[in-house]
Structure 1
Amino acid sequence: MNPFLSLCLFIVPIFFLLLKRRSKPSKRLPLPPGSLGIPILSLFGKPTVFIHGQAANKFVFTSDSSTISNQQVASLRALLGERNITELSGEDHKRVRDALVSFLKPECLKQYIEKMDAEVRRHIDMHWEGHQKVTVLPLMKTLTFDIICSLLLGIECGARREILIKCFETLVKGLWSIPINFPFTVYNHGLQATNRIRNIVKDLMREKRVELEQKGASISHQDLITCLLSIGEKNNKEGMSEDEIVHNVVTIMIAGHDTSSILLTFIIRLLANDPTICASVVQEQEKIAKSKASGEWLTWEDLAKMKYTWKVALETLRIVPPVFGGFRKAMKDIEYGGYLIPKGWQIFWVKSMTHMDGDIFQDPSKYDPMRFENQASIPAYCFIPFGAGPRICPGYEFARIETLVTIHYLVTRFTWKLCCTDNGFSRDPTAIPAQGLPIQIVPKKILQK
């Protein structure tokens, strides 16, 4: 072929392609405003965009996995396990979520109230009774961990619990660490701790599988691990793999421990700061206490009467959500709010900024439990302490029962006042009150003499 003709055949298509491109205006959107910071010191070394508000929350909780994924930061993913529910999407997410809900749905939780009641009473007798001063946050963490061991793992008091709590504390410290795996790092210690916890859970699974084979369906809901093991044997349903059970048990331990303990701590702080709200809570709880025979357990019907106390809990979650927000990952270039979120960027949705938006909640800084008198009036995706949509936390009802039972026994047995003049709190990354909230406590039986 003539060299000139060959050159023309090569150049002409390129010329028309360039002409076509120049004839169309560029649709490239600007990046979100702000600085990316120093890579190593920024959020785990990746570009991250913060979003908040009703539209942002709806976008996060309703987008499919081809748009944004639920992939967590590297440290969380490694320590919790890649098959945990926060990492899964599509049919895998639905299957695992359905399995967890089979244990955590209200009709099943009714069976666990007595056990939770017993754990709360035992905790108060051991750590509150006979003390003049306590520090609330560490005690609430002890309580919620004991409840997790009893109801979710089926581990009673003893050496195994003690080993587990030490590993658990180390794991929690490593969750938000920089994922550098050297022997002296917090992340490395967290990896070692999570491996020990997984081995304990696997041992429990072997024991409970044998027990399940011997006793059958009658024990299928005695604890979370037994429940998850039994699902695959019922009606030939697809169950969860061993890794999925282990990873999700660890994830629920983390979720149930930090969120509930922080919520309880800040309710106790509120009741010390606001005598009017405290009096209303005490009145509601003492009315229930007086209707019970001595030593009688609380019931599902009793919890249903604690309407004002739960409004106080919801308002606490609005103003001080235990978890600041959550991560997602852009799986493709996304146009959002007139900006471009490039593929691979992290998206961090922020609860607090939505909860304190004056366009959603009137006078948002005011502590007002009655704003939850009619929860249906709050627009969708505006109150998100437990998430929203198909990814709403499956442990919502578990947390409600745990909170109401604990507050019932505390306010009917004690009064308290704050020992710390600093009423602020920090985030690390969960909310932590100054000095862990030290309080002076007085048993009510002394006041009645």
Structure 2
Amino acid sequence: MNPFLTVLLFLIPIFLLLLTRRRTSQKLPPGSLGLPIIGQSLSLLWAMRVNTAEKWLEKRVRKYGPISKLSLFGNTAVFIYGQAANKLVFTCDGRTLANKQPTSITAILGERNLLELHGEDHKRVRDALVSFLKPECLKEYVGKMDGEVRRHLEMHWEGKQKVTVLPLMKTLTFNIICTLLFGIEFGARRDKLVNCFQRMIQGMWSIPINFPFTRYNQSLRASAQVRKILKELICQKRIELEQKGTSSHRDLITCLLSIRGKDDEAAISEDEIVHNVMLVMVAGHDTSSVLITFMVRLLANDPTILAGVVQEQEDVAKSKSLGELLTWEDLTKMKYTWKVAMETLRLVPPVFGGFRKALKDVEYGGYIIPQGWQIFWVTSMTHMDANIFQEPTKFDPARFENQPTIPPYCFVPFGGGARICPGNEFARIETLVTIHYLVTRFTWKLCCNDDTFSRDPMPVPNQGLPIQIMPKKLMSH
């Protein structure tokens, strides 16, 4: 064979391969991946810490457009934002995009948690959680939550002149979770769990370098202790369920243990119970405590909106006899208060953003997101878009008077579509009951007029929001 032809036949496949690679690389979103493993992680975490994360992302958008590649927490990722981006994240089928959190979150919470599952596994575990968290079931728990809030205020607020709101709200929401969701009574086990839990959540968004001095390592060790406590608790609940005939809806763990599949086998494995209970702990503890804290701050800054909330809550209080617990029907009358809560969620969403993983090449915005890459989306990017919400920096609950006017997939504090948070109704009840007792029992003034906050990764107001409190004359309860 002609030597020239031999070389040509040899070079053609190489040329075609290079051409294909070039085309693929041309279709990759713009942006830099930065240093190996670290990428842009430290830069983003610092921006979150000093509350400039939105500006950090806006700078990326100005430089690269609405889609760009980067590297976060050890993974190659693509940042996307806007209504279309949210719709892709929340509605894409499980064969195209999968739930996939950063390595740090998966390692700390466990790989069988709802944020990691997709397809039939996701549906099975989600359905199990929803069976406990759906409104029909939660109606039965309003009285218990009322009792927890009253006990908390008596212990930590009454007789005080000054309190720091965020740590107290975290104490309250953790106690509500322990009582309602896990059936753990006050005592040594609950104290140990709260201590381990607080150390565990500190490394949720961290670079997954497992050295003894890192946040990641400390969180992993705390996570192991939390799992041990939960496994002991599951064992105890299983015995109570089998021997004493406990009600299957006594608490979340008992509910998950009682769900049966084919051949009367457990529908949810022990690992799935542990990992999803840990997820619910994180979601229920941080999101509600942050929402209530920022509502307290926003109400202190806006007397007109505060007056509207107080009027609504005092009307509910007047309809109750002395010592009577709040009911589901009372909560349905708190429409204005919930609009205030939604506007707070728009301005300060507790969840900064999240991740998905491309299971195959995804074409989006004229680019290819390669199989295996992560997709990073951020909640506040549509919340603060002036094309969607007029005067986005203004605190205006009236935006939610007519919710259908808000375009779909633009207001996403609880996610959207099939991926909407199963605990959103639980958070609503928790928030309304707490705000009811705060505004009917106390007035308050901010001790710190600095309106800044940092993210770690949840929003934390300056100094944890210290306030001066004055008791009100009790009306009826």
Give TM-score scaled by structure 2 length.
0.87
Check whether the contact 1:54–1:380 (CA below 8 A) recurs between aligned residues: yes
| 1:255 alignment partner AA | A
User: What is the CA-CA distance between 1:62 and the residue it aligns to?
Assistant: 1.6
| 2:33 alignment partner AA | L
Q: Counterparts of 1:379-398 in structure 2 under 5 Å?
A: 379-398=407-426
Q: Does residue 177 in structure 1 map to residue 206 in structure 2?
A: yes
Partner of 2:94: 65
Output the CA distance in 2 between the equivalents of 1:106 and 1:446.
30
Q: Does residue 232 in structure 1 map to residue 260 in structure 2?
A: yes
Check whether the contact 2:161–2:468 (CA below 8 A) recurs between aligned residues: yes
Partner of 2:176: 147
Partner of 1:249: 277
Percentage of pairs with the same residue = 68
Partner of 2:189: 160
Output the CA distance in 1 between the equivalents of 2:16 and 2:79.
38
| 2:238 alignment partner AA | R
**Pick from 301, 306, 309: which aligns with 1:281?**
309
User: What is the CA-CA distance between 1:192 and the residue it aligns to?
Assistant: 1.4
Q: Does residue 330 in structure 1 map to residue 332 in structure 2?
A: no
Output the CA distance in 1 between the equivalents of 2:143 and 2:329.
13
User: What is the CA-CA distance between 1:337 and the residue it aligns to?
Assistant: 1.1
Give the direction of change, closer, same or farther, for the CA distance of 1:208–1:33 in structure 2 (3 Å limit).
Answer: same
User: What is the CA-CA distance between 1:129 and the residue it aligns to?
Assistant: 0.4
Check whether the contact 2:284–2:427 (CA below 8 A) recurs between aligned residues: yes
Partner of 2:31: 34
Partner of 1:348: 376
Partner of 1:210: 239
| 2:413 alignment partner AA | P
Q: Does residue 270 in structure 1 map to residue 267 in structure 2?
A: no
User: What is the CA-CA distance between 1:8 and the residue it aligns to?
Assistant: 6.2
| 2:166 alignment partner AA | L
Per-residue CA deviation, residues 120-174 of structure 1 (Å, 9 max, x unaligned), is 0000000000100000000000000000100111011111110001000100112
| 2:311 alignment partner AA | Q
Partner of 1:133: 162
User: What is the CA-CA distance between 1:11 and the residue it aligns to?
Assistant: 5.7
Give the direction of change, closer, same or farther, for the CA distance of 1:293–1:22 in structure 2 (3 Å limit).
Answer: closer
Output the CA distance in 1 between the equivalents of 2:275 and 2:331.
31
Output the CA distance in 2 between the equivalents of 1:210 and 1:400.
33
Give the direction of change, closer, same or farther, for the CA distance of 1:27–1:162 in structure 2 (3 Å limit).
Answer: closer
Q: Counterparts of 1:289-304 in structure 2 under 5 Å?
A: 289-304=317-332
| 2:137 alignment partner AA | C
Give the direction of change, closer, same or farther, for the CA distance of 1:357–1:12 in structure 2 (3 Å limit).
Answer: same
| 1:431 alignment partner AA | P
Output the CA distance in 2 between the equivalents of 1:236 and 1:317.
42
Q: Does residue 374 in structure 1 map to residue 402 in structure 2?
A: yes
Give the direction of change, closer, same or farther, for the CA distance of 1:52–1:413 in structure 2 (3 Å limit).
Answer: same
User: What is the CA-CA distance between 1:294 and the residue it aligns to?
Assistant: 0.6
Q: Which moved more, 1:219-228 or 1:234-243?
A: 234-243
Give the direction of change, closer, same or farther, for the CA distance of 1:158–1:234 in structure 2 (3 Å limit).
Answer: farther
| 1:185 alignment partner AA | T
Partner of 1:52: 81
Q: Over alpha carbons, which structure has the higher Rg?
A: 1
Check whether the contact 2:257–2:266 (CA below 8 A) recurs between aligned residues: no
Per-residue CA deviation, residues 417-436 of structure 1 (Å, 9 max, x unaligned), is 10002111111111111111
Q: Does residue 115 in structure 1 map to residue 144 in structure 2?
A: yes
Tell me, which stretches of 5 or more residues in structure 2 are unaligned?
A: 41-71
Give the direction of change, closer, same or farther, for the CA distance of 1:253–1:234 in structure 2 (3 Å limit).
Answer: farther
Per-residue CA deviation, residues 380-433 of structure 1 (Å, 9 max, x unaligned), is 111110011111100010000000000000000000010002111111111111
Check whether the contact 1:29–1:338 (CA below 8 A) recurs between aligned residues: no
Q: Which moved more, 1:37-46 or 1:156-165?
A: 37-46
Check whether the contact 2:290–2:460 (CA below 8 A) recurs between aligned residues: yes
Per-residue CA deviation, residues 340-361 of structure 1 (Å, 9 max, x unaligned), is 3333332210110111111111
Output the CA distance in 1 between the equivalents of 2:30 and 2:13.
36
Give the direction of change, closer, same or farther, for the CA distance of 1:296–1:32 in structure 2 (3 Å limit).
Answer: same
**Pick from 389, 412, 421: which aligns with 2:440?**
412
Output the CA distance in 2 between the equivalents of 1:30 and 1:16.
21
User: What is the CA-CA distance between 1:27 and the residue it aligns to?
Assistant: 6.7
Give the direction of change, closer, same or farther, for the CA distance of 1:20–1:396 in structure 2 (3 Å limit).
Answer: closer
Check whether the contact 2:100–2:374 (CA below 8 A) recurs between aligned residues: no
Check whether the contact 2:74–2:103 (CA below 8 A) recurs between aligned residues: no
Give TM-score scaled by structure 1 length.
0.93
Q: Which runs of 4+ in 1 moved over 4 A?
A: 5-23, 25-28
Output the CA distance in 2 between the equivalents of 1:212 and 1:87.
29
Check whether the contact 1:334–1:343 (CA below 8 A) recurs between aligned residues: yes
Q: Does residue 430 in structure 1 map to residue 474 in structure 2?
A: no
Check whether the contact 2:166–2:290 (CA below 8 A) recurs between aligned residues: yes
Check whether the contact 1:29–1:340 (CA below 8 A) recurs between aligned residues: no
Output the CA distance in 2 between the equivalents of 1:174 and 1:372.
35
User: What is the CA-CA distance between 1:330 and the residue it aligns to?
Assistant: 2.6
Secondary structure, in 3 states, of the residue corresponding to 1:47?
strand
Output the CA distance in 1 between the equivalents of 2:262 and 2:468.
51
**Pick from 69, 78, 81: which aligns with 2:107?**
78
User: What is the CA-CA distance between 1:97 and the residue it aligns to?
Assistant: 0.1
Output the CA distance in 2 between the equivalents of 1:378 and 1:10.
63
Give the direction of change, closer, same or farther, for the CA distance of 1:270–1:21 in structure 2 (3 Å limit).
Answer: closer
Secondary structure, in 3 states, of the residue corresponding to 1:181?
coil
Per-residue CA deviation, residues 238-293 of structure 1 (Å, 9 max, x unaligned), is 61000000000001000111111000000000110000000000000000001101
Output the CA distance in 2 between the equivalents of 1:33 and 1:21.
20
Q: Does residue 89 in structure 1 map to residue 118 in structure 2?
A: yes
Partner of 2:224: 195
Output the CA distance in 1 between the equivalents of 2:32 and 2:105.
25
User: What is the CA-CA distance between 1:15 and the residue it aligns to?
Assistant: 5.2
